Structure 1
Amino acid sequence: MRTESVTIAGYNGNNEDALVIQSSQQLFAVIDGVSSLVPYKSPAGQTGGATAAQIVREHLEAMTKDGDLRAELLAANEHIAAQMSAAGIDLRQKEALWGAAAAAVKLDDRHLTYAQTGDCMIFAVYRDDTIRVLTHPQVSHLEAVALEKWEEATRSGTRTRDELISHVRPILIQNRYQANTAGGYGVLNGESCSSEFLEFGRLNLIEIKAVILLTDGLFWPTARGEGPTGWEHTVRPILEKGLHAYAEELIALEKSDPECTAYPRFKPSDDKTGVVIHLPAH
């Protein structure tokens, strides 16, 4: 088994992602911290999103060989709630909650088990190059509404990201209230109902040559006016070029479009964390 990994801070320099590589346990995860809409910094200067991501990372890294991914993520969710309470956060105020999206996998000789919530993604790639998408970006239907509003503003002549963000901010705030609801998305934000939106499963490893885990900052963006490009535009270049080269190419594209108009997106450059697990042929 061989692995590649990256974790790169986004445009504001504060990386709220986290990475787990426990090769001896064959346990791997990517975690995307979600900061509250109410500004918060820990005594150490860490945002709520970064704190939540580190809590999830620590729980996964402490997992025993026979541990259960779903149970560990839910234990991390309880720990996030406890940490927020200790910090004086009102857990009834949804916009004040910290959170984390996560995608985690554990392998043995024959199987892969996984657990996921939010918009972190897991892909299995077979030796015939078939891409099997194991997860779904749970916030995509909500973000699509904001991106359509973004496009409307662009067509009307808005040209700066600051203006575009102010145009869609009410939608982004409304979306936060959809966390862990039937019409929304799952996230580990201390709410007990997070368990209802955590996805998990198992598959055999027959003919799988690679497993890829990504936070959303590594998704290849869609150009303005294009329809959905599909996951092939993300997964195949990662395997062909390598994760580091792919990330560098993506960052170069983002730098070429600082106002986020050619490639509509909410941040000039989001935090980027990924793992590629290359499996030996049997």
Structure 2
Amino acid sequence: MKVESFFSAAPHKSVSEDSVLLNEKLNVYGVFDGATPLHPFRDENGMNGAYLAANIFKDYFLKLYRSNLSLVEGIMVANRMLRDYMKKYNVNQEKSENLWSTCVAMIKIENNGKISFAQLGDCMIMAEYQNGMIKALTRDTVKDISKRAKEWREDQRKQGVKIADEEYFQDITQQLIFNRSLANKQDGYTVANGKEEVVNYIQHGQVNISEIKTLLMMTDGLFHPQFSIEESFKKILKSGINSYSNELGHFEKKNNLRQDDKAGIMIQFM
């Protein structure tokens, strides 16, 4: 088994809001992407809710997780830890825009010849099978969330619910606040944010290790604006995750595109 990882902060950030988990002892690997908060909270070290959420998850699975728990059970334990941390810092958890949150993509190599996986949000898990097939094991639930949110508001207005006109939601802050209210709801998006209902929205499953040649876990900072997720995966397979990430960063800079934190783990089974 060969493991290659990449981790970098966006140029405009002092620290990354992504985190990378490499737990070789328990064969648990993952990437976490903290959602940039809409609330100005900082802890005593100057860290925001996105950094804290991503690293609470990483630290739990690195230091406290027990292998007798499934990934889903582990995610729920880490999610409760996230809730308790917010309570410790007196975060008003009744307002969805205040919640610290993180997307998740994880795998666990089991002792029975299986690989378990679990996902939330727009972190993705890609697989290259031994027969050459390329497949996404997960679905990006954040994709088109603003479009779905608009459709949801329109539907509510037709039912007589009083919601501000769309002109109000042209303000990006108000749009983001509304989007956060759709976390872990039908037609919304999935994310670990301390709320118990996340258990109903974790994408999870298993694949046979004998069928898998390569697995990739990636945050959305590694999505290429010109290519599909499958095409990006093929490029990573060809050049390696480090070279691909550096090339993507140069492309984004050259074309004046917003650069995000980048994190990924590629595991090749020999």
User: Normalising by the residue count of structure 2, what TM-score does the alignment of the two structures yield?
Assistant: 0.87
Q: How many residues align structurally?
A: 247
Distance of 2:36 and 2:176 partners within structure 1: 13
1:154 aligned residue: none
Distance of 2:251 and 2:88 partners within structure 1: 41
One of 93, 99, 105 as aligned partner of 2:95? 93
Q: How does 1:92-241 map to 2 (within 5 A)?
A: 92-108=94-110, 110-143=113-146, 168-222=172-226, 229-241=227-239
One of 244, 249, 261 as aligned partner of 1:271? 261
Deviations 1:217-246 (CA, angstroms, capped at 9, x unpaired): 011113xxxxxx432221000000000000
Q: Which moved more, 1:30-39 or 1:243-252?
A: 30-39
1:163 aligned residue: none
User: Using a 3 Å threshold, how does the CA distance of structure 1 residues 142 and 243 change in structure 2: closer, same or farther?
Assistant: same
Determine helix, strand or coil for the equivalent of 1:206.
helix
Q: Please tell me whether the aligned partners of residues 116 and 199 of structure 1 are also in contact (alpha carbons under 8 angstroms).
A: yes
User: Using a 3 Å threshold, how does the CA distance of structure 1 residues 214 and 143 change in structure 2: closer, same or farther?
Assistant: farther
* Cα drift, residue 168 of structure 1: 4.3
Distance of 1:201 and 1:187 partners within structure 2: 17
Distance of 1:57 and 1:112 partners within structure 2: 19
Distance of 1:108 and 1:194 partners within structure 2: 24
Deviations 1:91-112 (CA, angstroms, capped at 9, x unpaired): 1011111101101100135110
Q: Any gaps of 5 or more consecutive residues in structure 2?
A: 150-169
Q: Which moved more, 1:167-176 or 1:53-62?
A: 167-176
1:6 aligned residue: 6
Q: How does 1:56-71 map to 2 (within 5 A)?
A: 56-61=57-62, 62-71=64-73
One of 65, 73, 78 as aligned partner of 1:76? 78
CA RMSD of aligned residues (A): 1.7
Distance of 2:123 and 2:97 partners within structure 1: 21
1:44 aligned residue: 45
User: Using a 3 Å threshold, how does the CA distance of structure 1 residues 178 and 44 change in structure 2: closer, same or farther?
Assistant: same
Q: Please tell me whether the aligned partners of residues 35 and 97 of structure 1 are also in contact (alpha carbons under 8 angstroms).
A: no
Q: Which moved more, 1:103-112 or 1:83-92?
A: 103-112
Deviations 1:138-195 (CA, angstroms, capped at 9, x unpaired): 111215579xxxxxxxxxxxxxxxxxxx864443332111111112011111111111
Distance of 2:177 and 2:7 partners within structure 1: 27
Q: Any gaps of 5 or more consecutive residues in structure 1?
A: 147-165, 223-228, 261-267
User: Using a 3 Å threshold, how does the CA distance of structure 1 residues 143 and 249 change in structure 2: closer, same or farther?
Assistant: farther
Deviations 1:197-219 (CA, angstroms, capped at 9, x unpaired): 11111111223111100011011
Distance of 1:95 and 1:108 partners within structure 2: 37
User: Normalising by the residue count of structure 1, what TM-score does the alignment of the two structures yield?
Assistant: 0.83
Letter in 1 for 2:85: Q
